Amino acid sequence: AGPIDWQPSKTDAWHGFTRHHFTLEGRPCWVSVPPTPRPGNPWVWCMIFPTAFDTRTGVVPLVKDGFHYIHMDVGNTYGAPAALDQMDAFYRHIVAKGLSPRGALLGVSRGGLYVYRFAARNPERVTCIYGDAPVCDFKSWPGQKSAKGWEEVKRLYGFKDDAEALAFQGNPVDSLEPLAKAGIPLIHVVGDADTVVPVADNTAVIEQRYKALGGSVTVFHKPGVGHHPHGLDDPAPVA
């Protein structure tokens, strides 16, 4: 079929791989192309902070191995409904261009809200989820950590007050059943000393609930490590 024409507005390099930039729904997007794409054009989608820890999350060897690495910048939107609509449009675009109808989602930190909410809405589009120190409940972060962030969550989700936000049942910790039914494996990497996104309120809840639903979940623990640095010194086991 030949290489996909992404109709980029510009092309640059990311870790030596060709990266095509374009705009969709008014949002900046890019696709990093592997030297030799695997059959079916599989992909990894990092929904926020895609280049901040890219040497530690396993994405570089995956692109080398034939996976596309993709991103749409929906801003700091906490997985809110309008952002999910934009991500749906991006998904439809990449599949129409020839990428696989199912791919891997990478959620770094607050990206946990993005990947889990996208996957709960679209489980048939997801092969696996990798959460890296992921936010799994906005009542934990920013709820207990950032007053400004909490106000942003309420505004972006359209909650009229704290009570409505606290009663919301659409956080990642609440939305695992469709993922378990679809057989989506979960991988988390956490720092056990994380005080920003505490494991007990986030990953530990996901792990316990997903196992109870019969789902597969693997957690890599980093003893004594906080929220940073994300990823692993050697990300090969995750990749």
pLDDT digits (tens, 9 = 90+) for 106-161: 999 999 999 999 999 999 999 999 999 999 999 999 999 999 999 999 999 999 99
Using 50, 70 and 90 to split pLDDT, how confident is the model at 2? confident
Specify which residues 218 forms β-bridges with. 187
Contacts of 169 (CB under 8 A, 6+ apart): none
Examine the pLDDT at 1 and tell me if it is beyond 90.
Answer: no
Could you tell me what percent of the chain has a pLDDT over 70? Answer: 100
pLDDT for 77:
97
DSSP 15-77: TTEEEEEEEETTEEEEEEPPSSPPTT--EEEE-S-TTTSTTTSSHHHHHHTT-EEEEE---S-
Torsion of CA 72, 78, 83, 87, to 10 degrees: 40
pLDDT one-digit tens code per residue, 85-106: 999 999 999 999 999 999 999 9
Average pLDDT (76-83) is 97
Instruction: Classify 136 in phi/psi space as left (phi over 0), alpha (psi -120 to 50) or beta.
Output: alpha
DSSP states of the chain: --------SEEEEETTEEEEEEEETTEEEEEEPPSSPPTT--EEEE-S-TTTSTTTSSHHHHHHTT-EEEEE---S-TT-HHHHHHHHHHHHHHHHHT--SSEEEEEETTHHHHHHHHHHH-GGGEEEEEEES----TTTTTTTT-HHHHHHHHHHHT-SSHHHHHT---SGGG--HHHHHTT--EEEEEETT-SSS-GGGTHHHHHHHHHHTT--EEEEEETT--S-S-S-SS-TTT-
pTM score: 0.97
